[in-house]
Structure 1
C-alpha cells in the first residue's frame, strides 16, 4: 500500500511542469509571431506609399509630356495653316493683278456721259472722235489698259491745241488710248503703266466747253485713226 501511494505522488508533479512549458512556448510563439506580423505590416505600408508616390509622379510627368506634345502639334498645325492661307492669299492677289492687267476699264469714276463718238458740232472740224466723260477738274484719270506712254504733253501731245494737255498710250494688242483736256499730266513718254494706274488729273484745257475727260481708242498714235471707244470697251466686257 505504501509503495503504491508513493508512486502516485511521484508522478503528479511532472504534469504541471509540462503544461507550463507548453503555455510558455505558446505565449512566446504568439509574441514572436505578433512582433513579426507587426514588423511585416509596417514594412509593407512604407513600400506601398513609396510605390503610390512614384506612380503619381510618373503619371504627372506623362500627362505633362502629352500636353506639351499636343501643344507643339497644334502650334505646328497653326503655323502650317497660316502659311497655307498666306500662300493662297498671295496667289489670289497675283491672279487678280494678272486679270486686271489683262482687262480694260473706264478711265474715270463717278462720271456722266456727255458728247459721244461720231456726233457733229461747232467745236470739232470733223465729227467727234471720242467719248466725253463729264467730271470735275482734278478728277483722277486712270490708264484704261496696261501699256507704254508714247505721247504726253500740251498742244494735244502733238495732235493739236484743241485737245489741250493730252496723253496717248500704246497697248500690246496694237490699239492706242488717248486722254485729253487734262489739268495735270503725271506720266512721261516711255513710261510703262498698268490698268487702273493714275496717269493724270482731268481738266478743261484746249477746246473745251466745260470740265471733262475726252477719251479715244485709236488704231495709230495719231489723230484721225479713232474708233468708237464705247463699242470697243463693250467688246472688252466693260460697262460704260
Structure 2
C-alpha cells in the first residue's frame, strides 16, 4: 500500500469518527432537550393542577360557610317561631290576649306610688329593669296614639315614649326607650314588639317605665300591676 493510499484511508476513518461523535452529541442534546421540555410541560401541569385544587378547596369552603350561615338562620327562625307560638299559647290560655310588656328576664324595680327624687310626686308606673335594647311589647292589641321623644308629648322626663290605646278604653305607656318601631296611627297586636328599652330621659339606669292610664295623657295613671292582674297577667 502506498503512503498516499494509507493517508487517505486514515483521513476517511477520522472523518467517520468525527461524524459519529457529532451525531452522538446531537442525539444527546435532543434527548436532553426532550427531557427538559417534558419537565417543563409536567411542571406546568402540576401548577395548573395545584391552582385547580386550590380553587376547588376555596369553593368548597365558601359553600360550607354559606350552608352554615343558612343553617344558623334557619335555627334562629325556628327558635323565634317557637317563642312566638309559646307566647301565643300563653295569651290564648288567658283568653283575652293581655301580656307582659317584657317577654323574658326582668326585675321589677321602682313600683307605682313609690317616693323618689326623679319624679315630682309618687312614681306613676312600674319599672322593669332590663338591659338597653331589650324588646318592648304592647300588652294588648290597640292603636298607637303617641310616639316619639319628649315623652311623646308628656315631658322630657320620660325620654322616648309610646302610648297605645286599647279596645277596653285603657291606655298603656312605655317610656325611657332607646328606639321606637311604631308611629301614631299604627295598629299593633298583643305581644307585638313596638320599641327597644333604653335609658333616655330622667333615668338612673336602663329600664322600661310602664304605665296603665285612663287617658292618653300624663296624670291619669293607675296601679299597673293590679291592672294587668285583672287581665290575667301576673308579673
Would you say same fold, with TM above 0.5?
yes
Which residue of the partner structure matches residue 71 of structure 2? none
Which residue of the partner structure matches residue 102 of structure 1? 96
Residue ranges of structure 1 left out of the alignment (5+ in a row): 1-91
Bigger radius of gyration among the two: 1
Which residue of the partner structure matches residue 112 of structure 2? 117
Residue ranges of structure 2 left out of the alignment (5+ in a row): 1-84
- Check conservation: 2:145, 2:216, Cα contact below 8 A: yes
Which residue of the partner structure matches residue 229 of structure 1? 224
2:123 match: secondary structure: coil
The aligned runs of 1:157-172 (5 Å cut-off) are 157-172=152-167
Number of residue-to-residue matches in the alignment: 148
User: How many angstroms apart in 1 are the aligned matches of 2:227 and 2:91?
Assistant: 21
Is 2:207 aligned against 1:212?
yes
2:229 match: secondary structure: helix
User: How many angstroms apart in 2 are the aligned matches of 1:215 and 1:200?
Assistant: 12
Q: Describe the shift of the 1:122–1:194 C-alpha distance in structure 2 as closer, same or farther (beyond 3 A).
A: same
- Check conservation: 1:101, 1:146, Cα contact below 8 A: no
The aligned runs of 1:78-89 (5 Å cut-off) are none
Which residue of the partner structure matches residue 186 of structure 2? 191
Tell me by how many angstroms 1:124 deviates.
0.5
| CA offsets 1:116-162 (integer angstroms, 9 cap, x no match) | 00011111001100000000000000111100000000000000000
User: How many angstroms apart in 2 are the aligned matches of 1:236 and 1:97?
Assistant: 13
Using the size of structure 1 for normalisation, the TM-score is 0.59
Is 2:171 aligned against 1:176?
yes
Tell me by how many angstroms 1:101 deviates.
8.4
Tell me by how many angstroms 1:102 deviates.
3.0
Taking only aligned residues, the RMSD between alpha carbons, in angstroms, comes to: 2.1
